[in-house]
Amino acid sequence: MPIKKLVDELHRRKYRSRRQQQNTGSSDPSQNNSQTNSQADTQGSSQDNADSLSENLDENLQKIQTIFEESSDLITREFKIGADESIKAFIVMLNGLIDVKAVNADLIKPLMFLQHDVNKSNALNVIKESALSVAMVKEGHSFTDVTEAILSGDTVLFIEESNIALIAALHGWKARNVDQPETTAVVRGPREGFVESIGTNMALLRRKMKNPALKFYQMQIGKQTKTTICVAYLKGIVDIKIVDEVKQRLQRIDTDSILESGYIESYIEDAPQSIFPTVGNSEKPDIVSAKLLEGRVAILVDGTPFVLTVPYLFIEAFQNAEDYYSRPFYSSFIRWLRWLAFFFTTTTPALYVAFTTYHQEFLPPALLVTIAAAEEGTPFPSMVEALLMQTIYEILREAGVRLPRPVGQAVSIVGALVIGDAAISSGIAGAPMVVVTALTAISSFVVPSLVDISTLARFILIILAGSSGLYGVMLGFIVFVTHQVSLRSLGVPYMSPLAPTTFSDLKDLFIRVPLWLMHTRPRLFGGENPTRQKSNLRPTPPNDPKGEN
Element (H or E) spanning 143, and its range?
Answer: helix 143-151
For residues 208 and 282, the answer to whether their CB atoms sit within 8 Å is no
272 versus 48: the higher-pLDDT residue is 272
State how many domains the chain has: 3
The arithmetic mean of pLDDT across residues 150-170, rounded, is 90
Q: Choose among 478, 433, 445, 486: nearest CA to 460.
A: 478
In a domain, 436, yes or no: yes
Q: Which amino acid is at 84?
A: D
**Residues 319, 352 share a domain:** no
Residues 6+ apart with CB under 8 A from 48: none
In a domain, 419, yes or no: yes
Please report which confidence band the pLDDT of residue 546 belongs to, taking 50, 70 and 90 as the band edges: low
The arithmetic mean of pLDDT across residues 46-52, rounded, is 65
Residues spanned by the domain of 294: 198-323
Q: Tens digits of per-residue pLDDT, 394-440?
A: 888 888 777 777 666 666 666 777 777 777 777 788 888 888 998 99
Q: Tens digits of per-residue pLDDT, 82-111?
A: 777 778 889 999 998 888 888 888 888 888
372 versus 116: the higher-pLDDT residue is 372
Q: Choose among 417, 385, 412: nearest CA to 398.
A: 412
The arithmetic mean of pLDDT across residues 335-340, rounded, is 93
**Residues 377, 453 share a domain:** yes
In a domain, 216, yes or no: yes
Using DSSP bridges, classify how beta strands 165-168 and 214-221 pair: parallel, antiparallel or unpaired. Answer: unpaired
What's the mean per-residue pLDDT of the chain?
84
Lowest mean pLDDT among 19-23, 98-102, 172-176: 19-23
The pLDDT of residue 26: 44
Lowest mean pLDDT among 63-67, 490-494, 520-524: 520-524
User: For the chain, how many helices (H) and strands (E)?
Assistant: 17, 12
In a domain, 356, yes or no: yes
For residues 312 and 279, the answer to whether their CB atoms sit within 8 Å is yes
pLDDT above 50 (res 309) = yes
End residue of a domain, out of 486, 509, 524: 486
The pLDDT of residue 487: 93
The pLDDT of residue 29: 45
In a domain, 253, yes or no: yes
Element (H or E) spanning 24, and its range?
Answer: helix 2-51
The pLDDT of residue 27: 45
413 versus 218: the higher-pLDDT residue is 218
In a domain, 275, yes or no: yes
pTM: 0.82
The pLDDT of residue 9: 52
**Residues 159, 146 share a domain:** yes
Exposed / middle / buried, residue 497 (Cβ in 10 Å: 0-12, 13-18, 19+): buried
**Residues 256, 334 share a domain:** no
Exposed / middle / buried, residue 345 (Cβ in 10 Å: 0-12, 13-18, 19+): buried
Residues 6+ apart with CB under 8 A from 470: 351, 354, 358, 359
In a domain, 114, yes or no: yes
Residues 6+ apart with CB under 8 A from 384: 466
Which of the 8 DSSP states describes residue 131?
A: I
**Residues 208, 339 share a domain:** no
**Residues 277, 241 share a domain:** yes
The pLDDT of residue 502: 82
**Residues 337, 312 share a domain:** no
For residues 298 and 233, the answer to whether their CB atoms sit within 8 Å is yes
**Residues 101, 248 share a domain:** no
**Residues 249, 132 share a domain:** no
For residues 356 and 471, the answer to whether their CB atoms sit within 8 Å is no
**Residues 353, 423 share a domain:** yes
Q: Tens digits of per-residue pLDDT, 447-499?
A: 988 999 999 999 999 999 999 999 999 999 999 999 999 999 988 999 988 88
Q: Choose among 321, 315, 313, 310: nearest CA to 233.
A: 310
In a domain, 494, yes or no: no
Residues 6+ apart with CB under 8 A from 365: none
pLDDT above 50 (res 112) = yes
Using CA atoms, how far apart are residues 280 and 310, in angstroms rounded to an integer?
6
**Residues 479, 336 share a domain:** yes
The pLDDT of residue 25: 46
Q: Choose among 489, 485, 486, 518: nearest CA to 239.
A: 489
For residues 201 and 289, the answer to whether their CB atoms sit within 8 Å is no
Using DSSP bridges, classify how beta strands 492-493 and 307-310 pair: parallel, antiparallel or unpaired. Answer: unpaired
**Dihedrals φ, ψ of 408, to 5°?**
-65, -40
End residue of a domain, out of 323, 340, 359: 323
Using CA atoms, how far apart are residues 344 and 266, in angstroms rounded to an integer?
29
End residue of a domain, out of 293, 323, 353: 323
**Residues 303, 163 share a domain:** no
